[in-house]
Amino acid sequence: MALHKGPEKHDERPMSVNPFFGEANPVVEMAEAPPKHRLPDTPLPPTTAAQIVHDELMLDGNSRLNLATFVTTWMEPQAGVLMAECRDKNMIDKDEYPRTAELERRCVAMLADLWNAPDPSAAVGCSTTGSSEACMLAGMALKRRWATRNADRYPGARPNLVMGVNVQVCWDKFCNFWEVEPRLVPMEGDRYHLDPQAAAEMCDENTIGVVGILGSTFDGSYEPIADLCAALDDLQERTGLDVPVHVDGASGAMVAPFLDEELVWDFRLPRVASINTSGHKYGLVYPGVGWALWRDKEALPEELVFRVNYLGGDMPTFALNFSRPGAQVVAQYYTFLRLGREGYRAVQQSTRDVARYVAGRIGALDDFRLLTQGDELPVFAFTTAPDVTSYDVFDVSRRLRESGWLVPAYTFPPNREDLSVIRIVCRNGFSHDLADLFVEDLTRLVPELRRQPHPLTRDKAAATGFHH
């Protein structure tokens, strides 16, 4: 959640309001708009208040044309109806809303089966507000397991967490909030994510775990989870260090099971202790819902689970939040029920096909060079060709906004700060037709960009709102 502060200077200029907004006497009663930075003195008619808010929100971007976000921007009308029916149900109140709680339990069981838990009935898990909270919970479990094993040295010893420099910002937050040292494997050359051997070499007796990313947000590539586990198996044989792995499958954990069944990345690897995913990304649900699962009860320390007597019921809970609506969990169960394995496979395959198609069209333009092809996550990144000097990716991003397309341009982290790219995220609802329109707009811009004397973006840090 972003932090906001009040305006340095309140803008309270009187603003005339369309007299049709008024219901009783529009000319007299609605001569001015209500204040923007303090509560109005009197109530407004509901239609007036709604129209004022609606008109201001029209200035937002079109979410369907937002190729920066991984978040689901389209669901079936039936899902919207179910969510409306459940938005007033408090997800935490499992005693009062037992059927909603049962749907959450079924979703956990379905994910445990999908991710090949050794005994799906023994796997434990919970819903969250998204993958960020799920990662926090997984990190807490890793730290508590390490602290229990090292009770004779902790809190004197400082725990650390090993991960690639490409991790999502929530892992930086976890390390900051829970006082864990982040050990980051840098990018090198054409490797844009974690190197298994380099990660193993960073581990020591204070390492609580290693995070593997199934689908890097920087370029859409899968990290080699099986190779990472093998490197840590070798480390244990040589040193005795037993380091668990958490798989951040925010996106890939809802893609790989359907499109890459031969890829071993999940609970089939004994070293994988926990997995998270975002239901509101390739789980195909509106924001915000995520999921965190542990392979068994031993992987989630019991002392982290709170048992609360809430409204007359004994309620075990493991979460950072408390009250939240049950609508997204219900929508997740609806989508699981609606699509099944074959339906998910069809949707994700179509999305990957679109990604590969768009990547191929862009790769055919001489001005651009592809980093990835969209053949893992339906996501790919590209940069300008070496001989392009009149514009850069920040210019491309800015000009595409003129046609309504929201695409992020950004610079890679250490050791590839020299590389600036554009990333395209393809989601359900971004059809072949929309893809053709996007490529046509980009192709039409190229001759204009070539006529620039030089790249026009001075402040690259402010050129895009994308960071992860």
- Name the pLDDT band for 117 (thresholds 50, 70, 90): very high
pLDDT reported for residue 467: 47
Residue pLDDT, tens place only, 407-464? 999 999 988 999 999 999 999 999 999 999 999 999 999 999 999 999 997 666 655 5
Q: Kindly list the distances between the CA atom of residue 291 and the CA atoms of 17, 114, 251, in Å, as whole numbers in the listed order.
A: 45, 13, 11
Residue pLDDT, tens place only, 7-49? 666 555 555 566 666 555 555 555 566 888 889 888 888 888 8
**Beta carbons of 254 and 277 less than 8 angstroms apart:** yes
Global confidence as pTM: 0.91
**Which of 274, 157, 264 minimizes the C-alpha distance to 211?**
274
Helical (H) or strand (E) element with 261: none
CA distance linking residue 241 with residue 253, whole number of Å: 27
Domains and CATH numbers, the chain: 78-338 (3.40.640.10), 341-451 (3.90.1150.160)
